[in-house]
Chains A and B, each alone.
Chain A
């Protein structure tokens, strides 16, 4: 089970992030998870939202460049060493993590770790078989 994430190119200029938030607010789009990656001159805002089509439409109409990416959200119960056990498994599969971010898991408690890992598809069933819980958009 993979999630679709919306990534937005943001110039490193005052007010640009606020503009994105405003546009989404006006369109009544709920942000489920968010992560901002920054470099010296630009940033990439990564969002998981409740209505990606609508978010994409409103942002593109306002001149923002966006792209869709598949990510995986793994439930991480609240105990020391949980993240380590997830990463150990990913490492064993020789998967390369492009980036990762975390949010709290509102339904199951604990957290959700969101990964972009290009070659994870073949390992998804293995993850589940090894007791890891993959989260869907509805569960965020």
Chain B
């Protein structure tokens, strides 16, 4: 079983391309036949599954965007009968803009396979005990590895607090951890303060993802916890995480599981496919997903593909870590958010000017919130009573927590502070990339 998993990462290019072509044809036929959204999309673009003769022909097919996903009626992108869907997850957190990602039993099995291969990529084996801190977010099933073919031991502590997680690492000889990097850094630094340094624990590997993190944070994580850290890539619209993973040889890049996803890099402005090695927007086509395969899905993530062989021996193409997006989406702890959605919340609550500035801290050390949100109180809503102003703040705080599960520190600033910045400073400052 494990052997078979292992081999998938080392398949020759010839075999891989043939496999991709067969799977691509199947998936195009599936969506064209079973999904009205794709049927219309293909018809409008005057393409048919049969027009695909080579992998390169895929560039004549239309893109799918996040907007398409969110504007479709519920279940609008599902391509299998409902009785085959065994799990649903929601995407899009705004109340007026939400949809579903469905999974069949086979989809979940593949997700587990991807997680197992990713664990293997980080050097984990059946001997490892892995702490999963993800919870209440799409990656839950995957990181809990429903179909654990690696036979590694997984302990899920998503709902436990940081101190309990630290004690578990020490008490249960945990060797690896799945976590958002900001959470882990907070955990490692808290462990230091408790006199329970992770350097003295059995923890040696960390698999981090679902939010951007800088090399600086990576160094700090590795130094504080005495571990090797790996970045895993995913999309809540497909599998999050589990689409690409760093190997121990080349920790800057991530191997894309090309037997399940066909990657392209495009110019985000023109939509033209770019030659290998050029920087552009990553576009992914699901090759094996049954319930909801996405065709030429524009991820919004800016990266570059490396086709040259990796010293680890894996033949899978590598993508660079995401440091930039083609749109203004922000990802915090696996939760995606657009500045437009913040604006919407502010607009719906009285008392504030529509301008705002969102500041995401570099790490969560000693910080109990996900981001700072600076707001201007309108002169007509300014009250001499502190509790009235606090109540205005709390309403926004509560909306953000209820809708997105994100905890904001609301800071009231003097009027004009944000409007003066309008042209020069962005409404979002993400210190994690700095």
**Contact string, A45-71, partner B, CB cutoff 8 A, digits 1/0?**
010000000000000100111110100
Contact residues of A: prevailing secondary structure = strand
Q: How far is the CA of A65 from the CA of B353 in the complex (A)?
A: 13
Q: How far is the CA of A102 from the CA of B298 in the complex (A)?
A: 64
9-residue interface stretch from B7-15, B142-150, B227-235, B408-416 = B408-416
9-residue interface stretch from A6-14, A77-85, A104-112 = A6-14
Query: In angstroms, how far is the closest chain B Cβ from the Cβ of A46?
Result: 7
Residue A26 is within 8 A (CB to CB) of chain B in the complex: no
- Selected from B382, B413, B416, B417, the residue in CB contact (under 8 A) with A67 is B382
Q: How far is the CA of A49 from the CA of B287 in the complex (A)?
A: 74
Query: In angstroms, how far is the closest chain A Cβ from the Cβ of B89?
Result: 36
Query: Considering only CB atoms and an 8 Å cut-off, how many residues of chain B contact the other chain?
Result: 16
A67 touches B377 (CB 8 A): no
B414 touches A67 (CB 8 A): no
Q: How far is the CA of A43 from the CA of B422 in the complex (A)?
A: 24
**Chain A residues within an 8 Å CB radius of B417:** 11
Residue A101 is within 8 A (CB to CB) of chain B in the complex: no
* Known contacts A39-B390, A42-B389, A65-B379; is-contact A11 B413 (Cβ 8 Å): yes
* Known contacts A42-B389, A65-B379; is-contact A11 B384 (Cβ 8 Å): no
**Chain B residues within an 8 Å CB radius of A37:** 386
Q: How far is the CA of A9 from the CA of B383 in the complex (A)?
A: 9
Query: In angstroms, how far is the closest chain B Cβ from the Cβ of A16?
Result: 8
The A90-119 residues at the B interface (CB cut-off 8 A) are: 98, 116
B377 touches A65 (CB 8 A): yes
- Closest A residue, CB atoms, query B419: A63
**Contact string, B166-199, partner A, CB cutoff 8 A, digits 1/0?**
0000000000000000000000000000000000
- Closest A residue, CB atoms, query B416: A63
**Most chain-B CB neighbours within 10 Å: which of A37, A42, A46?**
A42
- Selected from A10, A63, A116, the residue in CB contact (under 8 A) with B384 is A116
Query: In angstroms, how far is the closest chain B Cβ from the Cβ of A87?
Result: 20
**Contact string, A1-34, partner B, CB cutoff 8 A, digits 1/0?**
0000101011100001000000000000000000
**Most chain-A CB neighbours within 10 Å: which of B389, B414, B417?**
B414
B386 touches A9 (CB 8 A): no
Q: How far is the CA of A60 from the CA of B380 in the complex (A)?
A: 13
A7 touches B384 (CB 8 A): yes
**Chain B residues within an 8 Å CB radius of A11:** 412-414, 417
Query: In angstroms, how far is the closest chain B Cβ from the Cβ of A92?
Result: 24
Query: In angstroms, how far is the closest chain B Cβ from the Cβ of A72?
Result: 14
- Selected from B382, B386, B390, B411, the residue in CB contact (under 8 A) with A65 is B382
Q: How far is the CA of A65 from the CA of B383 in the complex (A)?
A: 10
Query: Considering only CB atoms and an 8 Å cut-off, how many residues of chain A contact the other chain?
Result: 21
**Contact string, B352-392, partner A, CB cutoff 8 A, digits 1/0?**
00000000000000000000000001010011111001100
* Known contacts A9-B377, A11-B417, A65-B379; is-contact A39 B386 (Cβ 8 Å): yes
**Chain B residues within an 8 Å CB radius of A16:** 414
**Contact string, B299-320, partner A, CB cutoff 8 A, digits 1/0?**
0000000000000000000000
B415 touches A42 (CB 8 A): no
**Chain B residues within an 8 Å CB radius of A116:** 384
**Chain A residues within an 8 Å CB radius of B416:** 63
- Selected from B379, B382, B385, B411, the residue in CB contact (under 8 A) with A41 is B411
The B413-429 residues at the A interface (CB cut-off 8 A) are: 413-417
Residue A44 is within 8 A (CB to CB) of chain B in the complex: yes
Q: How far is the CA of A9 from the CA of B416 in the complex (A)?
A: 12
Q: How far is the CA of A9 from the CA of B386 in the complex (A)?
A: 10
Query: In angstroms, how far is the closest chain A Cβ from the Cβ of B10?
Result: 55
* Known contacts A9-B377, A65-B379; is-contact A98 B385 (Cβ 8 Å): yes
Q: How far is the CA of A64 from the CA of B414 in the complex (A)?
A: 7
**Chain B residues within an 8 Å CB radius of A9:** 377, 382, 412, 414-415
Interchain residue pairs A-B with the least CB separation, the first 8? A7-B384, A63-B416, A41-B411, A69-B384, A65-B382, A42-B412, A11-B414, A65-B379
- Cβ contacts A to B, 11 pairs, < 8 Å: A7-B384, A9-B382, A11-B412, A11-B414, A37-B386, A39-B386, A39-B390, A63-B414, A63-B415, A63-B416, A65-B415
Chain B residues in the interface with A (C-beta under 8 A): 377, 379, 382-386, 389-390, 411-417
Knowing that A11-B414, A65-B415 are A-B contacts, what are 9 other residue pairs whose CB atoms are under 8 Å apart, sorted by A's residue number? A39-B386, A41-B412, A44-B384, A44-B386, A46-B384, A65-B379, A65-B382, A69-B384, A116-B384
Chain A residues in the interface with B (C-beta under 8 A): 5, 7, 9-11, 16, 37, 39, 41-42, 44, 46, 60, 63-67, 69, 98, 116
